[in-house]
A and B are shown apart, each in its own frame.
Chain A
Amino acid sequence: MEFLTLPLFHRKAVEYVCFDDSFRIASFSADAARYADDRDAVAMGGDIRLAFPELAGFENDMLSMLRGSSNPILVRNISRSRMDDTPAGIDLSIETTRTGDTLHGIVLLEDVSERLRIEQQLVQQSNEAKLLLQSITAAKTYFERIIDSLADALFVTTNDGIIRTVNRAATDLFGYHKGELIGRSIQTIIGTQELLPSDSNLTNAELTCTTKQGSRIPVAFSRSFMRHEGPVEESIFLGRDLRERKNAEAEINKLRSTNLYLNEEIQAEHNFEEIIGTAPVMKKLFRQIEKVAATDSTVLLEGETGTGKELFARAIHNLSSRKKNVLVKVNCAALPAGLVESELFGHEKGAFTGAFARKVGRFEFANEGTIFLDEIGELPLETQVKLLRVLQEREFERVGGTESIRTNVRVVAASNRNLEEQVQLGAFRSDLYFRLRVFPLRIPPLRERRDDIPFLADYFIRKFSLRMHKRIEGLHPDTLERMIQYDWPGNVRELAATLERAIILCEGGQLHDIDLSEFGLKGIGRKPSALEDVEREHILQVLRESDGVIEGKNGAAIRLKMNASTLRSRMKKLGIQRRGAGFI
């Protein structure tokens, strides 16, 4: 507050107190005591600082003033907490006065109560106004901070989309300065896509927005309305940067698929821990597998259900240089027809209804590794073309995509159907069949290696009893004999399941009285009578000798002295089927 001279108020008489160089009061004017904090000190000629405490601290100045080497000091607007009838406001000045040769210290006291009262009112008003302004500013800053702390980009626009304000996330995300955005249309940001009519509510709409630098970014926009008194209405647009989420989605997608495949791998692991084979056919098979594993050649595994084709696929993978990479299993029969292609080759976002994000297919995922296509015979014809292309050119496109993706995948296919027959029926492309048959491996059914049954049984009994914490002492010799004789249409899988069930039911001791037909395939799996058994074996033997030919002069029918059609119906009755070049 500047010094106020208000002529309205007449100057009160100035009182004085004189002091010496030991700060003792020497003399004072008649009314001076009224200004003192300690009136007795004045009357008794005491320390002037007791009478006027505001002089404390000025000792050095007072002394040098007495030596004539210092300027007067003015202290304006003094009030005291202890007032009594002291004037409410005092101006105090420390000066010197000369009597002859001597300089005396003098304190001049002036009653400025009226002026102080006016000044106080002005200051009070001014301060209160400032406080109010400060609290408004503080509130504004507070809300601006909140808005600027939002992770989402915020735009406040007029009804027709003219931007009125934006937050920091908005300027950061779109690369504009605040000033560049205010006054522009929101369309600058979100393009001419969906916006307006003004009453349309936008909720998490995925828009492709353009930044100042021209890059296109996915942003989820929501719009809400801010209603004011009267007709004015404003819109709030909140935009969330989707780039990170998109990346995360892709990542999760990949992880999910890894997880999925891993689960399948784990399950596979539990099918049969190892291949047990002592029969000569098996030993021969093992040698073949060792040889083919070392190459990158495509392998076709043919064998009845339950023969453990997957185990052989795994063996091929593990014996190959791709061992350190992933083995991806695809059961072609388990995939819904409509999704096979996208599962195998992936798809781009929007390739079909429900394709919300890009998906990496299993071929892409299996890159540098091995892909095991189980039940390849179930693959739809359209997908077969694509698969053929992968085998020939080692590249493919995602569903809905145009970009060719190169892949380095070793294919191991398996089928329990007679693929050749499928080809003849027109259900399987012959070109694909020959591509796959580069290295065909036939996994023999269990009944062709009955010598392995005791070993397999022993293996599974140990495995399951350990898992179930049961003491099983093995098979009763009679039971084992029956098992060896049994044909096992479900092959090793059936053997394993039969023993698992038996061990669950068994209290301990030896296993016997096992129901062998429980898991067999209907029709094929029925237990043949001893006579039929002999007949069947005989027919099969003759068929082998005649190289699988039924009719003609070297055919099996003539050797068996039977009519060809009679032989066929007999074979059907006995469950003899053509399998590859031979019969089973």
Chain B
Amino acid sequence: MNNTHFKKVCLLGDFAVGKTSLVRRYVDAQFSDEYLSTVGVKISRKHIEMTSRKTGELLRAQVILWDLEGSTLLASTNESYLKGAAGAIVVGDVTRQDTIANIKTHITAFLRINPNGFLVVSYNKSDLMAGPRSFVSPLSFEGHDRVLDSIVTSAKSGEHIEHLFGVLCRKLVDP
């Protein structure tokens, strides 16, 4: 247990976009339609294992998920929530345009504290999207080298949840 790797990963995004739900889906494989606002931070951990793509050895890590309160982002007192994070998942709600537009702000805030961190973007609640399941972001993340991917997800249906967390964890644990 001595050489356990800890990786702090934050979930950022406007309130009620589904941060808590994404974590719950990923960690406990559960989902609830009820909305319970998160205050402060809710900590979850997930033990992950993967084979190193370079050495083939088995890599283990404790991913500590910081599911943050949606409405506190820019308060300076909450700098400690972001501090020391290796990565972040920035979430927007595809049914609420504002939350998508704010994704960029969250990314900037995170990178200001953790300039070397990595991010993935989740366009969440894809199950509520009508029509074909493609989401064209109004923001251009191309060239933003810290953002690894932008993924359409649904905490409700589970769509692309493993991929969302997997992309980030792989980068953090097996860089």
Measured CB to CB, the residues of A under 8 A from B are: 1, 3, 37, 46-47, 49-50, 53-54, 56-61, 73-82, 89, 116, 119-120, 123-124, 126-128, 130-131, 134, 138
Residues of B contacting A73 with CB < 8 Å?
80, 83
Q: Please pick, from B6, B40, B70, the residue contacting A127 in the complex, using a CB distance under 8 A.
A: B70
Determine if B35 and A1 form an interchain contact, defined as CB atoms under 8 angstroms apart: no
A to B CB contacts below 8 Å, 28 in the list: A1-B72, A47-B2, A50-B1, A54-B41, A56-B6, A57-B86, A58-B83, A75-B41, A75-B81, A76-B40, A77-B39, A77-B41, A78-B43, A79-B40, A81-B27, A81-B42, A89-B40, A116-B39, A116-B40, A120-B39, A123-B71, A124-B36, A127-B15, A127-B35, A127-B37, A128-B35, A131-B15, A138-B96
In the A-B complex, the 4 residue pairs with the smallest Cβ-Cβ separation, listed nearest first, are: A77-B40, A57-B84, A56-B6, A57-B8
**Complex Cα spacing A120 to B35, Å:** 12
Determine if A123 and B37 form an interchain contact, defined as CB atoms under 8 angstroms apart: yes
- The verdict on B32 contacting chain A, using a C-beta distance below 8 Å, is no
- The verdict on B150 contacting chain A, using a C-beta distance below 8 Å, is no
Q: Which residue of A lies closest to B7 (CB)?
A: A56
Determine if B4 and A47 form an interchain contact, defined as CB atoms under 8 angstroms apart: yes
Measured CB to CB, the residues of B under 8 A from A are: 1-2, 4, 6-8, 15-16, 23-24, 27-28, 35-37, 39-45, 62, 64, 66, 69-72, 77, 80-81, 83-86, 96-98
CB distance from B129 to the nearest CB of A (A): 15
Residues of B contacting A3 with CB < 8 Å?
77
**Complex Cα spacing A127 to B39, Å:** 11
Most chain-B CB neighbours within 10 Å: which of A56, A119, A127, A131?
Answer: A56
Determine if B43 and A61 form an interchain contact, defined as CB atoms under 8 angstroms apart: no
Determine if B83 and A56 form an interchain contact, defined as CB atoms under 8 angstroms apart: no
Q: A58-B83, A59-B84 are contacts. A49–B6 as well, Cβ < 8 Å?
A: yes
Residues of A contacting B23 with CB < 8 Å?
81
CB distance from B94 to the nearest CB of A (A): 13
Q: A79-B42, A124-B36 are in contact. List 8 more A-B contacts (CB 8 A).
A: A1-B72, A53-B6, A56-B64, A57-B86, A73-B83, A81-B24, A89-B40, A119-B39
**Complex Cα spacing A513 to B4, Å:** 117
Q: Which residue of A lies closest to B8 (CB)?
A: A57
**Complex Cα spacing A119 to B86, Å:** 29
CB distance from B157 to the nearest CB of A (A): 21
Most chain-B CB neighbours within 10 Å: which of A46, A76, A82?
Answer: A76
Determine if B43 and A54 form an interchain contact, defined as CB atoms under 8 angstroms apart: yes
Residues of A contacting B72 with CB < 8 Å?
1
**Complex Cα spacing A119 to B39, Å:** 7
**Complex Cα spacing A77 to B37, Å:** 13
CB distance from A513 to the nearest CB of B (A): 76
**Complex Cα spacing A4 to B111, Å:** 29
Determine if A60 and B39 form an interchain contact, defined as CB atoms under 8 angstroms apart: no
Residues of B contacting A54 with CB < 8 Å?
41, 43, 64, 66
Q: A61-B83, A61-B84, A116-B39 are contacts. A81–B64 as well, Cβ < 8 Å?
A: no
Determine if A78 and B97 form an interchain contact, defined as CB atoms under 8 angstroms apart: no
Residues of B contacting A127 with CB < 8 Å?
15-16, 35, 37, 70-71
Determine if A78 and B64 form an interchain contact, defined as CB atoms under 8 angstroms apart: no
Determine if B84 and A138 form an interchain contact, defined as CB atoms under 8 angstroms apart: no
CB distance from B72 to the nearest CB of A (A): 6
**Complex Cα spacing A47 to B3, Å:** 10
Residues of A contacting B84 with CB < 8 Å?
56-61
Residues of A contacting B1 with CB < 8 Å?
46-47, 50
